[in-house]
Amino acid sequence: MTRYKLREYVFIMVFGRIFHEYGPQEVIEEYADNEYVEIDDEVTEFFTKICDRHEELDLLIGRHLKNWKLPRISKVSLAILRVAFYELLYKTEIDMPVVINEAVELCKKYSVTDDASFVNGVLGTYVKQSSSPSP
């Protein structure tokens, strides 16, 4: 499975979970019979870790929003940002520009053009701030 497909499957599951109060295992079981998502150990682990840290990820996303509040952003953008921020924080072997580019590509596929620009801006702000030397 390609890295992009892995992200896409995890995004779909993260997005679906936004609308239900299911635990991670229930979501995995729900998508196990779905023809659009291929569940394997890597997808399961990636999805579960995002679920375990979604509050932390949401706080971080919220800190990098300019003139927006977390509840106002689209559910597609929120799910994509959760996946991307998880990767930026915990999958440091992946280059930041790759994470950002693939998040934008997911937005282009699953949302509107404005969302792609929005996600790019939020992730770009995070990368700039995280790579700036602290005073």
Per-residue pLDDT of the chain (135 residues; tens, 9 = 90+): 899 999 999 999 999 999 888 889 999 998 988 888 999 999 999 999 999 999 999 999 999 998 888 889 999 999 999 999 999 999 988 889 999 999 999 999 999 878 999 999 999 989 888 775 544
Q: What is the pLDDT of residue 103?
A: 96
Q: Which residues of 73-87 are buried (b: 16+ CB within 10 A; e: fewer)?
A: bbebbbbbbbbbbbb
SS3 54: helix
Cα separation, 17 vs 20, in Å, equals 5
Q: What is the pLDDT of residue 133?
A: 54
Q: What is the pLDDT of residue 53?
A: 96
| 35, two tokens | 């023809």
Q: What is the pLDDT of residue 92?
A: 83
Q: What is the pLDDT of residue 118?
A: 94
If 0-12 CB within 10 Å is exposed, 13-18 middle and 19+ buried, where does residue 65 land? middle
